[in-house]
């Protein structure tokens, strides 16, 4: 809940404050122009990196390998592209940071480790306990397959 509050309330307010401050220094039209140029450069970077990623994915598929690294990088580049197209300086800065390949690979590695640890610690344990029981049961009813008469 706190993450959603930050994403939908705090980030837009910070973006507006930054845009107003830059607008006071550079002028309104220059700020609008800077935001447009920033979005266009971001879109070009996302397209360029995305096409390179598609090429590497095809090469790995032709070798018979699964392009899992490319899939995760593609998701990150898509996220960066969405941030770059959102008007604002803070989201553009975060999008640009995600587009830097070494930073992106470190972030993806951290997300993978976090996902693996959560998956092995919670759902896998519950599933093993559920499947190891002799007779599967509904929570409040008879065993599966039996009719309640």
Q: Could you list the mean pLDDT of each consecutive 10-residue stretch along the chain, which spans 149 residues?
A: 84 94 95 93 92 93 90 92 90 93 90 81 54 54 56
In a domain, 139, yes or no: no
In a domain, 1, yes or no: no
| Owning domain of residue 34 | 11-126
In a domain, 6, yes or no: no
In a domain, 111, yes or no: yes
In a domain, 88, yes or no: yes
In a domain, 24, yes or no: yes
How much is the pLDDT for 147?
57
Count of domains forming the chain: 1
Phi and psi at 93, nearest 5°, equal: -65, -45
1-to-4, 118, 139 alpha-carbon distances in Å: 5, 19, 29
How much is the pLDDT for 119?
75
In a domain, 138, yes or no: no
């Amino acid at each position: 809940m706190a993450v959603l509050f930050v994403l939908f309330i705090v980030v837009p307010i910070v973006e507006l404050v930054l845009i107003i401050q830059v607008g006071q220094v550079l002028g309104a039209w220059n700020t609008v122009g800077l935001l447009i140029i920033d979005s266009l450069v971001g879109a070009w970077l996302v397209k360029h990196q995305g096409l390179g990623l598609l090429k590497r994915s095809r090469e790995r598929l032709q070798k018979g390998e699964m392009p899992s690294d490319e899939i995760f990088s593609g998701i990150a580049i898509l996220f960066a592209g969405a941030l770059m197209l959102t008007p604002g300086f803070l989201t553009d800065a975060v999008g640009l940071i995600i587009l830097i390949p070494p930073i992106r690979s470190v972030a993806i590695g951290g997300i993978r480790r976090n996902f693996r640890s959560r998956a092995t610690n919670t759902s896998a344990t519950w599933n093993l306990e559920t499947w190891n029981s002799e007779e599967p049961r509904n929570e409040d009813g008879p065993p599966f397959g039996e009719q309640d008469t």
